[in-house]
């Protein structure tokens, strides 16, 4: 879960223009309550719009996708408020001095006129904004202390997990393969296949005459790896299409194999190296294993933390369109 400084003021500006505030005396529509805190529909809408702008490139989203996005953004806002409330519960202090500095820097960045207009739209004073920033910072500190710190995985745990399942870290035999593909449409007749195979044989002859395979792959291949000179990298046994698999594993190192037909077209392969099956060392496996363990530990730490805080500060979804979710996964 990526934590970031949630600044509602900037959210107003970064959304689609300066949003109109509710009419004087009207009550904002509430999307959810988190203890004694509220998340307004307007705030949720801004977060959803920001997510669309940054991740969906302003595409019109299907209703089911949009609803899922709204649920995701609502969950983030709920977690933000739970972090703040949990911070208060644990006795954390509001970092008011830091918040005042950030508020002042934001006013300079936006310009006094734009900043004051935004305050007016939200119905805030500068003191209100300082408190919002201070609570956000405190919530981040609560998350760091009571989630991230609890989710750390010691080196010994990684090592024990490696030793508990050594069979998982066996690398199968592999070949370093370069590839050229000449595509053939599925509906093509025999004459087209024959023509493409003849082209492949000419390319093969050029390789045998000394033209680098990579140069020809970059110029002639129609496969996705042409930009890498046809380099497929190390390919484990069992990863290729059956026709290519059989030919590649029979090939001698340094030999060009083909033309080979598959449903996709005509292929040439160059096998440059062969590597036998081997056991990954702990040093090689540790980064992969640590990432897996940390992901699981973080999920468990978040679940414990939010469950604990929610017991004291219940979450209630008030938006009818989102009420099927409890917002606290």
**What is the per-residue pLDDT across 23-68, written as a single tens digit (0 to 9) for each?**
444 566 899 999 999 999 989 998 998 888 887 655 677 888 888 9
**Helices 63-89 and 41-55, axial angle in degrees (round to 10):** 120
Reported as a pLDDT band with limits 50, 70 and 90, residue 239 is confident
Compute, in degrees rounded to 10, the torsion defined by CA atoms 34, 37, 42, 48.
-40
Are residue 144 and residue 114 in the same domain, yes or no?
yes
- Predicted model pTM: 0.66
Q: What is the pLDDT of residue 146?
A: 97
Are residue 264 and residue 300 in the same domain, yes or no?
no
Are residue 79 and residue 105 in the same domain, yes or no?
yes
Are residue 110 and residue 146 in the same domain, yes or no?
yes
Average pLDDT over residues 93-112: 95
Q: What is the pLDDT of residue 26?
A: 52
For the record, the structure tokens of 147 come out as: 């989630």
The answer for residues whose C-beta is within 8 angstroms of residue 95's C-beta and 6 or more apart is 134, 137, 138, 141
Q: What is the pLDDT of residue 58?
A: 57
Tell me what percent of the residues of the chain surpass a pLDDT of 70. Answer: 88
Q: Report the C-alpha gap between 298 and 144 in whole angstroms.
A: 11
Strands 174-183 and 231-236: antiparallel
Specify burial of residue 54 (Cβ count, 10 A radius: 0-12, 13-18, 19+). Answer: exposed
Please indicate whether residue 277 or residue 309 has the higher confidence score (pLDDT): 309
Are residue 243 and residue 307 in the same domain, yes or no?
no
257: Cα within 13 Å, side-chain hemisphere = 21
Are residue 24 and residue 136 in the same domain, yes or no?
yes
The reply to whether 2 falls in a domain is no
Are residue 87 and residue 142 in the same domain, yes or no?
yes
Reported as a pLDDT band with limits 50, 70 and 90, residue 158 is very high
Could you give the number of structural domains in the chain? 2
Q: Does residue 265 surpass a pLDDT of 60?
A: yes
Are residue 149 and residue 24 in the same domain, yes or no?
yes
The reply to whether 164 falls in a domain is no
SS3 76: helix
Q: What is the pLDDT of residue 5?
A: 38
The reply to whether 139 falls in a domain is yes
The reply to whether 286 falls in a domain is no
Are residue 222 and residue 102 in the same domain, yes or no?
no
Average pLDDT over residues 130-159: 95
Are residue 227 and residue 314 in the same domain, yes or no?
no
Q: Name the percent of the chain in helix, strand, coil, to the closest 5.
A: 55, 15, 30
Domain, as residue range, for 186: 171-276
Reported as a pLDDT band with limits 50, 70 and 90, residue 6 is very low
Q: Report the C-alpha gap between 181 and 258 in whole angstroms.
A: 10
Q: Does residue 300 surpass a pLDDT of 90?
A: yes
Find the CATH number of the domain harbouring 32. 1.10.4030.10
Helix H or strand E encompassing 181:
strand 174-183
The reply to whether 246 falls in a domain is yes
Are residue 118 and residue 267 in the same domain, yes or no?
no
Distances (CA, A) of 209 to 147, 198, 247, 256, 293: 63, 17, 22, 12, 52
The reply to whether 285 falls in a domain is no
The reply to whether 237 falls in a domain is yes
The reply to whether 328 falls in a domain is no
Of the candidate ranges 176-180, 259-263, 277-281, the one whose mean pLDDT is the lowest: 277-281
| Phi (first) and psi of residue 31, to 5 degrees | -85, -35
266: Cα within 13 Å, side-chain hemisphere = 20
CB contact burial 77-98 (16+ within 10 A = b; e otherwise): bbbbbbbbbbbbeeebebbeee
User: Is residue 81 left, alpha or beta, with left meaning phi > 0 and alpha meaning psi from -120 to 50?
Assistant: alpha
Q: Return the residue matching tokens 């977060």.
A: 47
Q: Does residue 22 surpass a pLDDT of 60?
A: no
| Phi (first) and psi of residue 267, to 5 degrees | -125, 150
- Of these ranges, 3-12, 52-61, 63-72, 299-308, the one predicted with the greatest mean pLDDT is 299-308
Distances (CA, A) of 176 to 6, 252, 265: 47, 12, 21
For residues 121 and 62, the answer to whether their CB atoms sit within 8 Å is no
Find the CATH number of the domain harbouring 229. 3.10.50.40
Are residue 145 and residue 16 in the same domain, yes or no?
yes
């Amino acid at each position: 879960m990526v934590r970031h400084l949630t600044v509602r003021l900037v959210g107003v500006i970064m959304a689609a223009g300066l949003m109109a505030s509710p009419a004087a005396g009207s009550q904002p529509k509430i999307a959810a309550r988190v203890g004694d805190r509220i998340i307004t529909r307007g705030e949720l809408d801004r977060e959803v719009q920001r997510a669309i702008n940054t991740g969906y490139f302003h595409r019109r989203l299907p209703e089911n996708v949009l609803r899922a996005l709204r649920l995701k953004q609502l969950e983030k806002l709920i977690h933000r408020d739970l972090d703040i409330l949990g911070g208060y519960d644990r006795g954390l202090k509001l970092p008011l001095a830091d918040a005042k500095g950030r508020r002042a820097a934001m006013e300079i960045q936006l310009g006094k006129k734009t900043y004051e207009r935004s305050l007016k739209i939200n119905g805030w004073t500068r003191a209100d904004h300082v408190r919002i920033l201070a609570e956000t910072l405190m919530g981040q500190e609560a998350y760091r202390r009571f989630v991230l710190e609890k989710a750390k995985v010691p080196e010994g745990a990684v090592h024990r997990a490696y030793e508990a399942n050594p069979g998982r870290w066996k690398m199968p035999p592999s070949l370093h393969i370069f590839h050229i593909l000449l595509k053939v449409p599925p509906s093509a007749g025999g004459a087209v296949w024959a023509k493409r195979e003849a082209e492949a044989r000419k390319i093969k002859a050029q390789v045998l005459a000394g033209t680098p395979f990579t140069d020809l792959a970059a110029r002639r291949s129609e496969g996705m790896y042409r930009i890498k000179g046809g380099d497929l990298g190390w390919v484990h046994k069992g990863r290729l299409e059956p026709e290519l698999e059989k030919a590649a594993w029979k090939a001698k190192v340094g030999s060009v194999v083909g033309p080979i037909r598959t449903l996709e077209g005509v292929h040439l392969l160059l096998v440059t190296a062969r590597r036998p099956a081997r056991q990954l060392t702990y040093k090689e496996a540790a980064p992969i294993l640590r990432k897996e363990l940390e992901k699981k530990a973080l999920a468990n730490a978040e679940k414990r933390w939010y469950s604990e805080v929610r017991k004291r500060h219940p979450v209630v979804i008030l938006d009818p369109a989102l009420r099927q979710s409890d917002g606290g996964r």
